[in-house]
Structure 1
Amino acid sequence: MLSKKEIKILILEDEFLIAQDIFETVTNNGYINTKIANSYSEAKQVTQYWFPNIVLSDINLETCKTGIDFVTNMKNTHQNFEVIFISAINDKNRIKEAISFIPLGYLTKPFDEKQLNISIELAINTINAKINTISPELKHLSRTELKIIQLISKGYQSIEISQKLSVSEKTIRNHRYNIIKKLKLPAEKNNLLKWAMIHIR
């Protein structure tokens, strides 16, 4: 079970004052492990080594990349997070696209503090429920190892994983060895890939 102090929240918002308002609302409610990114590129940089449990994202950003683009990228590399969209857009197609991610909340600007806190609590309950139902074997893996095995289940090779996580291929091979050891997998070809394809969703 993750506590308020353990939950990591990323705020992706390009309007400085709104980002600060959201940050104050969140941290005043006890979620002290919170960071702000003001653009798609900054959000990608922040999440290279810091993996949020919850993403509070605007949809339209000042650059050509949107909050939806960032969430799509995150879904491809890091599945264990929940998203709450906070936006002022009224474009039905864009809203439909955002809802396709099944967010834990879709709040309109100006946002309501109580509604935001309720959405975050719902997201935390969902995250903790997933933790409680996780495969017993996976509970022994570190967060980095979990991310690696998720990428393996998608068919990524060690060199590709190393590029995505910005570490050396040797580091990935060491992680793979440790994962195999922790899962007590038999010594056979593609043993980790086979296991991941069956057990990782």
Structure 2
Amino acid sequence: MLDSKVVRIVIADDHPLLLQGLKELLHQKGDVELLGAASDGATALKLILDSQPDIALLDIEMPYLSGLSIAEECRKKQLDTKFILLSYHKEPDLIAQAKSLNIAGYILKEDTSTEIFKCIDEVMQGNSYYSPSILSTATTTDSKKTVNLDLLSSSEKKILKLVASQCSSQMIAERLHISERTVEKHRSNIISKLNLAGQSNSLSLWAVEQKRLIMAL
């Protein structure tokens, strides 16, 4: 770690045990100041905008807003905060999206304890740091899938747009005045029509990756 400056950090993860473990890990270092912690994306975004930390350490999947969506929103507001994402996912599409948003760091959650401080150090020096296993997967695997969104009905397209906007099934049901069961049925049909079944990333993650394409429907 750099010893010339205290690094001001905000963290966010919707899993309580992981969030607590991250707090304890960061508290081991005297040159890190933890400004706050959040358990969902909306709270994390507000915390970042209010405190403008040096680094935001975010779970990639959270209620309301994903780590990628938060980073994109902060970029629009021209914040200087650098972003490090934590995830179990290492699909090339996600890595490509993270790089397109100039995400400074991307660490697999299983590697957090061994790589987090090296990542923070590299990021604070103006470099990027992606877990070696992530880069290996990204360069040797092509998981992009050609899909035909015209196969979807108007109702399915409407629901897919809401999924891409990080809405849960409950939120979609309330917004469209339908039951959650109906929403889940539509989601299942979307997965089937787009041949997404068996993918390691969920429909929600895929929709976030393809948000720009989906919102143009």
Deviations 1:30-79 (A, max 9, x none): 2133321111110122134211110111111133x211000011111133
Unaligned runs of 5+ in 1: 128-201
Percent identical residues: 21
Report the equivalent of 1:117: 117
Report the equivalent of 1:70: 70
Deviation, 1:88, is: 0.6
Report the equivalent of 1:54: 55
- The amino acid that maps onto 1:33 is L
CA distance in 2, matches of 1:46, 1:110: 26
Deviation, 1:13, is: 1.2
CA distance in 2, matches of 1:100, 1:41: 22
Contact 2:90–2:108 (CA under 8 A) maintained in structure 1? no
Q: How many matched pairs?
A: 125
CA distance in 1, matches of 2:98, 2:49: 23
What is the TM-score when the length of structure 1 is the normalising length? Answer: 0.55
Deviations 1:91-116 (A, max 9, x none): 43223212222333211122332311
Contact 1:27–1:34 (CA under 8 A) maintained in structure 2? no
Unaligned runs of 5+ in 2: 128-217
The yes-or-no answer on 1:79 pairing with 2:79 is yes
Deviations 1:109-128 (A, max 9, x none): 2233231100101122229x
Contact 1:82–1:123 (CA under 8 A) maintained in structure 2? yes
Report the equivalent of 2:39: 38
Report the equivalent of 2:11: 11
Task: Provide the alpha-carbon RMSD of the alignment.
Answer: 2.3
CA distance in 1, matches of 2:45, 2:61: 16
